[in-house]
A and B are shown apart, each in its own frame.
Chain A
Amino acid sequence: MADLAAAMDRRRLVTLLSPAYLWLLVAVFLPLSAMLFFSLLTDLPQDAPDWGLTLDNYGQFLTNPTYATLLWKSLKLGVMVTLACILIGYPCALVLARTIRGRARETLFLLVILPFWSNSLVRIFSWAIVLRGNGVLERSLDWLLPFDIRLNLMFTTPAVVIGLVHSYLPYVILTSYLALQAIDDDIIEAARSMGASRWTILRRLLLPLSLPGLLAGAVLVFVPVVGSFMEPRILGGRMGTYYGTVIEDQFIAVYNWPLGAALSFILLAVVLLIIALASPVLKRART
């Protein structure tokens, strides 16, 4: 009897769940596994009938210093962008969550995270218009400042950083804001009743309590920045060769898919390592 009911429930459960998860299996998890397999091939099976298994693609990463250097460059870019996002975004989340109330807060919050949901490519493109030599930014500064100025920001590393910060800043604000907003007002009032200054409250209460949110935001910025290729291409020009652009080249220009797969897989390993390192703190956020 109970078995009968359980069997019926199980059938419903499978009917409801399996389409979504089969889709994820076919479109995400099988491809990620296939990538591991391809990264071990000498050649594409569809191109060369005499393909075989090899570790050469990973060997290339070790022997050719270009790849490691570029991965290091991408990691440094990730650190820079993440730090910038934290320094700019956390105070902003703090202001939003703790000093502004009611409908104004809702509207401002929406305004801050809205760009994050709009087309990132288009937003990077808009920076290209602003930053280009003799473009809008330089002309405005010319007009504002008495002396002549040549920023030449376009096609430099700072341009790439500005574009990426613009793209990913809302992540840090979103996650920090959610964590800060969840902190009970009573806790702050209790601290104030005990004579704590604003600085003490920030350092001893707000910062530790919102740390999981802040860290989640940092991971959400760092991971995609390390794998970015479109932003460096558009804003970095000749300076814009990074680990991500090399992978793009393997698939779009050079057609060395096995090498591209190996490079992608190494990046995936780095990403998973970072998430694993952050997860103890992130887990605390759920309790």
Chain B
Amino acid sequence: MSGVEVQNITKRFGRALALDDVTVSFPDGGFFGLLGPSGSGKTTLLRTIAGFHYPEAGRIRIGDRPVEQVPVEQRDIGMMFQNYALFPNMSVADNVGFGLRVRRVPAAEERRRIAETLDLVQLGGLADRRPAQLSGGQRQRVALARAIVTNPKVLLLDEPLSALDKSLRVDMQIELKRIQRDIGITTIFVTHDQEEALTLSDRIGILRAGRIVQVGPPREVYDRPVDAFAAGFLGEANWIPDSCLAGLDLPASPQGHRFAVRPEALAIGTAPDLARNALRGRLVQRVFAGAMATCLIEVEGSPWKLVARDRDIPDLPGAGEVWLSWAARDTIAVPA
């Protein structure tokens, strides 16, 4: 196994700058999530590491080996595609064995490794099926098995779970994490689903307009976003209006900073909690969604959102004046 280093990568498509001087390091054995809105360059970065795009400038290392000039087929990677890209004319076993066949692995070892890998993804009995005879979740497992059977140096996942429905997706997230930990392979994956990124990754990189905005462990990125974009993209942020800043306990100087609070850090009541930061607002709507509830509150003309367990929200008089309070350490400060 080995880590991946990307240094000062620039990639253009015609006039459009898809990657703008990107430098990021993917640690050995880690599970790294690349997150960003569409067009942010996350898929381009993944495909550049894979070798489908050649960068105009910059360096890429997989382990100790510089690979900028190495074609895809010689980079020793495993990749899972969004639509799985299973070969329709081959059985499950032949799909999984494709990379071994190409590497001229002896037949006996090929059979052994196909069986091993299919067991790992819990598809032991389906080796002779065709992709068309499999369910969505099974196809996904075949695609994963196919990507890891050759023991590649790095596993690249392009929106691996986006084609599955919600309940199956959660199961597969757990499964994917287990397999990745079992074989300890450096994994880079692209997603636009922030919850998925938070669940799977031990490091997250947020991209915007071809640049890396922030890299770090999920909790750190969530709790201490470096700018307003990161704060708003990963999780939701209630921005504190400038006119309300007076009297609040703030982590940084009001000059040159903006402040926000996460919806789940807020408590709501009919009177201010004087031990904590508190703001007055007007309750617009309370939305019940089973265990959780969402309140929409207007604070000095800006819309706020509160998320809490429904039972933790006191009975409120319809719509009207309410108080929101939160612990001072939950205030997020970003440069204005």
Contacts and interface: CB of A to CB of B under 8 A. Distances in A.
Interface of A: 1-2, 4-6
Contacts of B71: 5
A228 to B, nearest CB: 45
Contacts, number: 14
Interface in B17-72: 54-57, 68-69, 71
Nearest to A6: B54
Secondary structure of the A contact surface, majority rule: helix
B324 to A, nearest CB: 51
Nearest to A5: B54
Interface residues of B, number: 7
Contacts of A4: 54, 69
A2 to B, nearest CB: 5
Nearest to A8: B71
B69 A2 contact: no
A32 B54 CA distance: 42
A4 to B, nearest CB: 6
Contacts of B56: 1-2
B287 to A, nearest CB: 37
A13 to B, nearest CB: 16
A191 to B, nearest CB: 37
11 contacts: A1-B54, A1-B55, A1-B57, A1-B68, A1-B69, A2-B55, A2-B56, A4-B69, A5-B54, A5-B71, A6-B54
Which of B54, B56, B68, B71 has the most chain A CB atoms inside 10 A of its CB?
Answer: B54
B74 to A, nearest CB: 13
Nearest to B51: A5
Interface in B266-318: none
A6 B55 CA distance: 11
Given A1-B69, A4-B69, A6-B54, 7 more contacts: A1-B57, A1-B68, A2-B54, A2-B55, A2-B56, A4-B54, A5-B54
Contacts of A5: 54, 71
Nearest to A2: B54
A6 B53 CA distance: 10
Nearest to B10: A2
Interface in B221-278: none
